[in-house]
Structure 1
Amino acid sequence: MSIAKSTRSRTLGALLGVHAGDSLGATLEFLPWARIQKLHPNGLREIVGGGHFAWPAGSATDDTDLTRAVLLAYRDRKAHLKQKSGEQETFDVTKAAADHSVKWLTGDWPGRKRGSRPIDIGGATNTGLSNYRRTKNPQTCGAGAGSAGNGSLMRCIPTALFTASPEQRIQESMAISAFTHNDVRCTVSCAAYNEMVASLVAGNSVSAAIETGKRVAEDLDCDAVSEAISHGQTLSIRTLAEEGPGDELPDRTSGYVLQSLTVAIAALTDPRGFEEILVDVVGIGGDTDTNGAIAGGLLGARDGVEGIPKRWLSELQFRDEFVDIATGLLSK
């Protein structure tokens, strides 16, 4: 059965939007806004690599690598269900995502020496995956309340794209977050974000998608996430890039999950094209690769893969693999 072009385009846009935002932002990671202004007065407009970790141009950082880990879990689930046709689903997609994430942690990964550690890994991610290696229980290994970084929000988008029902998407979004980031601000951010992505992929308006995200946060009794979404609606990405984050985004958008969610919502409400918005997102400074990835996923779901500059797509390490896996998952 053929795949509707709009669904395919928006699905690929979401996945590759994460990768493009990650790879663009990797060059500027940890730099403050004022330094970026001096280096790139017109914004960083090309995927060139480098940065704090000397990334090759187009390389996945931990953001895209861990998105890949979750994507591979959904690929594995479809393969399992195809083999077990007619049987009740028994595949644990959360455990599969954790298993693939451990492969990333231990160097069983494209472009890495087996046994090598990632050159960039967040504290909660390291804690959660290290705990999981010991316990093999994805429900009990998270870093705990108080660890509210953006390290699960950056990887969560495959659930939005390849899980059919809202109820199952919310459950899987929260569970896949929780094996590293089980603070409620993280788990609910992932659930709300993925429902917004799913709404956009379905062809709904930006305003309708945002209302869906707020409703999920409210239903899950997390006012902090709903407020972060509302805050994003009041901000201008263009102004933040021109004038700096200031008091609107204290601590230089350094990795707090709700700040990254707020930036992503501000990006989503910007009517300009994918490139102009992402250039400004990473121009704000701070955790630029992750903010770029999270915003890029929403924008890709909004604009479709055609909205991402072709010169950016051509640089992306996992472009072909992501297209192949996503196309297989969308086919009947």
Structure 2
Amino acid sequence: MAPPRPTTTLSPRQSRVVGALLGLHAGDSLGATLEFESHAAIASRYPNGLRQIVGGGPFSWPAGHATDDTDMARGVLLAYRDVKPRDDIARLAGDNFLKWQCGEWPGRTPGSPPVDIGLATATGLERYRESGDPDRAGAGEGSAGNGSLMRCLPTGLFQPDGEKLMEESVRISRITHDDSRCTVSCAAYNAMVAELIDGRPADEAVRAGEALAARLENGDDGPVHAAMATGRRVQVADMARRGPPAEMRGQCSGYVLETLALAVAAVLDGRGLEDVLVDVVRIGKDTDTNAAVAGGLLGARDGEGAIPAAWREKLQFGDEFREIALALTTTTTTK
């Protein structure tokens, strides 16, 4: 059954919160088909980009199925749904990650492990399983993949206090990715998300993310702040046509700072969500995560109605995400 269509009963804020979650899920599912493929290979198969969620890819995903990106974001989302006043949100998220890893996960055959899990994520979760402490896990400095950035979105959506948003973004990242490039990227990303769902323009949202990065890096010459500056310079459409620029030496293949830069470029792109996400996938390599991270910002910017209906009806957790988003989001904000 297709998910409910956007209705006029949603406040603008509710629409943006729902749009952010579905944008992440849709970007993940769109990009999963072409994960690991080069820009040149994608250009030869889809000269104008892949515009439908069709599944497949290296892990033979059913169309619209959650990869590890959406599954782990779901782990954070369920933590915010279930949190009680004295709970540690990072511990709740970490416990959900362990359930996901060992197969105690709704939507998957009991006992079956994830089809795909990153090395830093697996290492961090093993350390978390041993310590039970989200602040004493992580894969260590030097592991700067995008595996915590891909899942951090719910904090930006559901933690209204700016200081707590920063703290929770850092601590939930630290469970698996405790390198400062990862923790600061998650905090800066969620600062942008919070501005977008409040109805502020994309440029203001990026400035908020840059300000938080500068605060956490003790100045504006840190690596996360620099990555956001790169995002301001590059153009998604140009990269879709020509491939990643030389300054992105990892070719958008999973380095957290390149994924963050690409997301900044995406949210500053004046086109609609669909065209931007199609072009993000055209760039190649870590197509599912790059599109998931960009899709979260674009959905927060443009709202639920920006997600194509043909995409929404295929999303594995589309109904669930919408239901939780509406339960956790008030209708009082009218921006």
Q: Distance in 2 between matches of 1:200 and 1:325?
A: 19
1:154 aligned to which of 150, 154, 158: 150
Pairwise CA distance, 1:42: 1.1
Provide the residue aligned with 1:139 in structure 2.
Answer: 135
AA in 2 matched with 1:92: D
Aligned residues: 321
Pairwise CA distance, 1:248: 3.6
Deviations 1:97-155, CA, capped at 9 Å, x for gaps: 00111111001113322222211111111011111112211110111100000000000
Q: How does 1:1-332 map to 2 (within 5 A)?
A: 5-77=11-83, 80=84, 89-221=85-217, 223-331=222-330
Q: Output the TM-score relative to the length of structure 1.
A: 0.94
Q: Distance in 2 between matches of 1:109 and 1:26?
A: 20
Provide the residue aligned with 1:83 in structure 2.
Answer: none
Q: Check whether the contact 2:120–2:143 (CA below 8 A) recurs between aligned residues.
A: yes
Pairwise CA distance, 1:75: 0.5
Deviations 1:220-270, CA, capped at 9 Å, x for gaps: 016111110011011110010011114142222110000000111111111
AA in 2 matched with 1:250: R
Q: Which runs of 5+ in 1 are unaligned?
A: 81-88
Q: Distance in 2 between matches of 1:185 and 1:244?
A: 24
Deviations 1:291-327, CA, capped at 9 Å, x for gaps: 0000000000000011111110111000000011111
Q: Check whether the contact 2:156–2:165 (CA below 8 A) recurs between aligned residues.
A: yes
Q: Distance in 1 between matches of 2:138 and 2:249?
A: 26
Q: Distance in 2 between matches of 1:298 and 1:111?
A: 26
Q: Output the TM-score relative to the length of structure 2.
A: 0.94
Q: Distance in 1 between matches of 2:207 and 2:143?
A: 27
Deviations 1:198-235, CA, capped at 9 Å, x for gaps: 00100111111111000000010161111100110111
Provide the residue aligned with 2:5 in structure 1.
Answer: none
Provide the residue aligned with 2:6 in structure 1.
Answer: none
Provide the residue aligned with 2:3 in structure 1.
Answer: none
Hey, which bits of structure 1, 4+ residues long, moved more than 4 A? none
Compare 92-101 and 322-331 and name the one that shifted more.
322-331
Pairwise CA distance, 1:4: 6.3
